[in-house]
């Protein structure tokens, strides 16, 4: 059994690595300082060393130098944050075998360790067939213009970011996945709740069994019971054949119930029996079916609050609330925006047979400052549309939807103070109104006295106000402005070109 020494001044990291490596049949010792590591090495010899680059008492490179002087044959792997990648590469020149970046992904670490122990170069590694981890950026290299510089990984159809917030989520996943706990995942629509649920399944003991995802918000009250629990032939009008429900299909594996609060009270009662007794009965059936299934649910509202409002059964909430994970919206993890944009670009390039390389600086600035009301789902659609419209190598502002490329016009905090000054604004009409949207009564006066520019700005603002009032429905906006739809489209296109030109001239 190979012995590995883990050196990290974070006790939690030591604990996680020790447990993970022991599960994969390694003998593990861990210490929390460079000095303790050197003392341990006086009387012990490991087959491999994992060492954090930044230790409290000394630098990882110093530990490496001491180790190579006494044990030159022992592979030494550096653990580092992304900001220290250049330093890590320099340390490799001193004799380190390889480096891994935080957040630490179990499969990546395992592959690197196995390569080091067999002295196989860690380049173009053939990943394990089960639960592949695929880098989506140029591995351990400087990213090109318009491409993300962060490290990310992909499992199946899902990609995971590298923001600090997501590192914490991944750590939570690693902790809860090996258990059979039910999990509640909270997050806005499109924020990636299904990806989190899928990753919990992938890291669990049920990973080889089915993972079934159901959007409860899309289930009608009449058909919900049939979709979840199945039905017998002839049990209701239209039931021409016997049907297995989602719980039966997920038996042995994991079922993910998204937007769980949308289920009717009657279905919640049936679901409570499933959770308590691990049995279910098809609609119209007389025989119980035993279930061994892990349940993960998701909601964009707190289930405790929903239970207090009478929308969700309190006893069902407590059954599910063995562990919870909060997925923040995309606007709160801006570090991941480039990663996801590049991922969706790659997907769209493959679908369309195109070779768009990335995004212009202007586009990426817009992406990072946009609110992303629909989170990842909205971004995917925006990138697909922009890729389709792009003829060059990089996606430019002109290829973005009008309401996104001009979002800064809707957000007074992002306006260029040299272009506008604001007269006394009136307060928001009522509490709860999004402060990022200009309120009625706010008057913008151009500091420049160029009459043509002033008229263009006034017309632009009128169009934007009309679009906002009808939630960007262009047909209704055209009616409101008393112009035809084609004229509105031409105006929108014209102002987008003007905006793009002004940005390049600045």
Q: Locate the DSSP E strands across 145-231.
A: 153-155, 158-160, 183-186, 211-215, 230-231
Query: Could you give the C-alpha distances from 143 to 151, 339, 395, in angstroms and in order?
Result: 10, 11, 17
Which residues fall within 8 angstroms of residue 230, CB to CB, at 6 or more apart?
242, 243, 244, 245, 247, 248, 282, 283, 285
Cβ atoms of 345 and 383 within 8 Å: the answer is yes
Which element (helix H / strand E) includes 100? strand 98-101
**Whole-number pLDDT of residue 157:** 62
Residue with tokens 């196989």: 120
Distance CA 394, CA 397 (A): 10
Q: Which two tokens stand for residue 337?
A: 């925006």
Q: Where on the phi/psi map is residue 145: left (φ > 0), alpha (ψ -120 to 50), or beta?
A: beta
d(CA 138, CA 136): 7
Q: Is the bond into 43 cis (omega within 30 degrees of 0)?
A: no
Provide the 10 A C-beta neighbour count for residue 50. Answer: 27
Spatial separation of the C-alpha atoms in residues 98 and 79, rounded to whole Å: 9
- In sequence order, the β-bridge partners of residue 296 are 183, 256
Report the candidate in 284, 290, 277 with the shortest Cα–Cα distance to residue 243: 284
What pLDDT is recorded for position 97?
83
pTM for this entry: 0.54
Q: Report the distance separating Cα 405 and Cα 399, nearest Å.
A: 9
Beta strand pairing call for 289-290 and 294-299: unpaired
Residue 69, judged by CB atoms within 10 A of its CB (0-12, 13-18, 19+), counts as exposed
- 436-469 CB burial, b ≥16 within 10 A, e <16: eebeeeeebeeeeeeeeeeeebeebeebbebbee
Each residue's pLDDT expressed in tens, for the chain with a length of 506 residues? 789 999 998 888 888 889 889 988 899 999 999 999 999 999 999 999 999 988 888 888 889 988 888 888 899 998 877 545 566 666 777 788 887 777 677 777 888 888 888 754 333 333 333 333 333 333 333 333 334 344 555 655 677 777 778 888 888 898 899 999 999 999 998 888 999 999 999 999 999 999 999 988 888 777 888 889 988 887 777 777 888 889 999 999 999 999 999 998 889 998 998 999 899 888 888 888 999 999 999 999 899 989 988 899 999 999 999 999 999 899 888 889 999 999 999 999 998 899 999 999 999 999 998 988 889 988 998 999 899 999 889 999 999 987 788 775 555 444 443 333 333 333 333 333 333 333 333 344 444 445 555 566 677 778 877 877 777 777 888 888 888 877 887 777 666 544 444 444 44
CB within 8 A of 409, min separation 6: which ones?
415, 460, 461, 464
* pLDDT score recorded for residue 119: 59
Q: How far apart are CA 336 and CA 252, in angstroms?
A: 34
């Amino acid at each position: 059994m190979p012995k590995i020494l883990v050196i990290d001044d974070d006790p939690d990291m030591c604990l996680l690595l020790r447990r993970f490596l022991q599960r994969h049949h390694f003998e593990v010792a861990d210490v929390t300082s460079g000095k303790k590591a050197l003392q341990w090495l006086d009387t012990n010899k490991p087959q491999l060393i994992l060492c954090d680059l930044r230790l409290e008492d000394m630098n990882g490179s110093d530990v490496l130098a001491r180790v190579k002087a006494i044990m030159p044959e022992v592979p030494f792997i550096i653990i580092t944050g992304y900001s220290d990648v250049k330093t890590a590469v320099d340390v490799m020149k001193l004799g380190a075998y390889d480096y891994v970046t935080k957040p630490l992904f179990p499969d990546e670490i395992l592959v690197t360790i196995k390569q080091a122990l067999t002295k196989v170069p860690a380049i173009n590694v053939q990943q394990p067939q089960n639960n592949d981890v695929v880098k989506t950026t140029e591995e351990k290299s400087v990213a090109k213009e318009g491409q993300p510089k962060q490290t990310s990984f992909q499992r199946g159809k899902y990609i995971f970011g590298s923001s600090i917030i997501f590192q914490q989520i991944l750590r939570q996943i690693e902790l809860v996945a090996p258990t059979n706990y039910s999990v509640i995942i909270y997050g806005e629509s499109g924020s990636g709740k299904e990806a989190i649920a899928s990753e919990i399944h992938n890291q669990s003991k049920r990973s080889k069994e089915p993972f079934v995802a159901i959007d409860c918000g899309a289930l009608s009250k009449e058909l919900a019971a049939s979709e979840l629990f199945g039905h017998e032939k002839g049990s209701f009008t239209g039931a021409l054949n016997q049907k297995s429900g989602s719980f039966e299909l997920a038996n042995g594996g994991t079922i993910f119930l998204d937007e769980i609060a949308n289920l009717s009270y009657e279905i919640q009662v049936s679901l409570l029996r499933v959770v308590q007794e691990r049995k279910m009965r098809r609609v119209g059936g007389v025989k119980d079916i035993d279930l061994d299934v892990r349940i993960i649910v998701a909601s964009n509202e707190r289930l405790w609050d929903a239970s207090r409002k009478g929308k969700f059964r309190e006893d069902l909430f407590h059954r599910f609330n063995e562990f919870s994970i909060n997925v923040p919206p995309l606007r709160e993890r801006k570090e991941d925006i480039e990663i996801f944009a590049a991922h969706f670009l790659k997907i769209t390039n493959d679908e369309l047979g195109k070779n768009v390389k990335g995004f212009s600086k202007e586009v990426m600035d817009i992406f990072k400052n946009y609110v992303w009301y629909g989170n990842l789902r909205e971004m995917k659609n925006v990138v697909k549309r922009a890729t389709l419209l792009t003829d060059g190598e990089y996606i430019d502002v002109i290829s973005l939807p009008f309401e996104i490329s001009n979002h800064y016009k809707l957000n007074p905090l992002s306006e260029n103070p040299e272009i506008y000054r604001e007269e006394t604004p009136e307060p928001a009409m009522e509490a709860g109104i999004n402060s990022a949207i200009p309120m009625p009564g706010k008057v913008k006066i151009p500091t420049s006295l160029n009459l043509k520019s002033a008229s263009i700005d006034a017309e632009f603002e009128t169009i934007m106000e009309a679009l906002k009032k009808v939630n960007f429905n262009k047909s209704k906006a055209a009616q409101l402005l008393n112009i035809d739809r084609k004229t509105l489209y031409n105006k929108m296109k014209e102002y987008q070109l003007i905006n793009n030109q002004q940005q390049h001239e600045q």
